[in-house]
Structure 1
Amino acid sequence: MREGKSARRRRWLWRWRSNPLRRHDDIVEAWLVLGVWTLVVLGGAVAGLVTAHAADEVFARQRAERHPVRAVLLADTPASTLATWGRGDRAWATVRWTAPDGTTRTGRTLVGTDLAAGASVTIWQDQHGGLTDRPTGRTEASLEAGFVGAGAALALTGAVVGAGAVVRWRLDRRRIDEWGREWALVGPRWGHKTG
């Protein structure tokens, strides 16, 4: 079993060993592979954590700035229909509420269906008294921040791996061209060509 590990290690580190057949491009490719893996592991982790933290701060700020307030429905809302099904049995309606500065405001927002005019509903307002969406809850915000962070890490990983693949492709093309030039010099010395 030790021989298998040793052979794998030698095969994996072949670009780093001193070898008369090792080309400059092999050394460049070895450093490139090391750099790509370092950026994927460390950069992906940092990008994911920073992005998740930033998203969590945005959700926390929304929870701090948005407040529920009681409003009065100004018109009847329709009964639940297929048209409102996609919004969780909610319909657009005009409501009236009091802003933090004491002024009475009117606006349109989504409320429950099958409500009569004059019914009391809960709406969400921002710190200036404008209508806004309900803020994301703590658990949902943590999940969303995690997904956003994972997406950032995957995006960075894809960009780094893609850039590394392009550079390796260019190195391969250069090596193939060098082999072609060398063969053009050495090939005629091998004697009679067939074909």
Structure 2
Amino acid sequence: MNLRLSTSLLLATSLAIIAVAQVDVAASANGGIASQSSDYSSISTADKANDGDRQGNYSAANNIAHTGFESGAFWESSFATAAAIDTVNVFNRTDGFGERINPFNVILYLGLTEVYSATNQTFIPTITGPQISGMSFMTNGVIADRVRIQLAGSNYLQLAEVEAFSSRPVPEPASIAALGMGAFALMRRRKARTAA
């Protein structure tokens, strides 16, 4: 195999690997580092809303994040890395008291900067199933590293699950640099062959 063909194959393979990496789900509140303004009890901690379980029956599964009664109660999760977030799904309690979430805010942050907010929302289920009641927010690919759900008033905040999804992760600087160096080397080789 000649050098030109092997260089072209290497560059094509690198581009294919980068392209495949960019269609994966880039960020989800699931598995992120969760916290909330307070804990109602030792079985209703913040991690219950990012454990992958959307079911909202507090009594049956003990899988609801639940704060104490307070003004501006919040739950939030930080992502491992910043990502272009397309959708945030909020899953509510289903065995009663679902109205406690109203009104609420969905906020995305990049560092300390608020980059998206849907404020004073009334919970209207758009995702339903047995013991599942969720509402979706389309966030148009805003780059964020943290999601927060916060009450706009005073009450208990109860969440079954919060999900933040993306199909377009922010490319890592190392990937961009490797791609640029590969393209530069290929162009330099072509220029050297043309001059010879």
TM range (shorter): 0.3 to 0.5
**Please, what TM-score do these two structures have when normalized by structure 1?**
0.35
> Larger Rg: 1 or 2?
1
Q: Which has the higher helix share?
A: 1
The normalised TM-score by structure 2 is 0.34
Q: More relative contact order in 1 or in 2 (CA 8 Å, sep 6+)?
A: 2
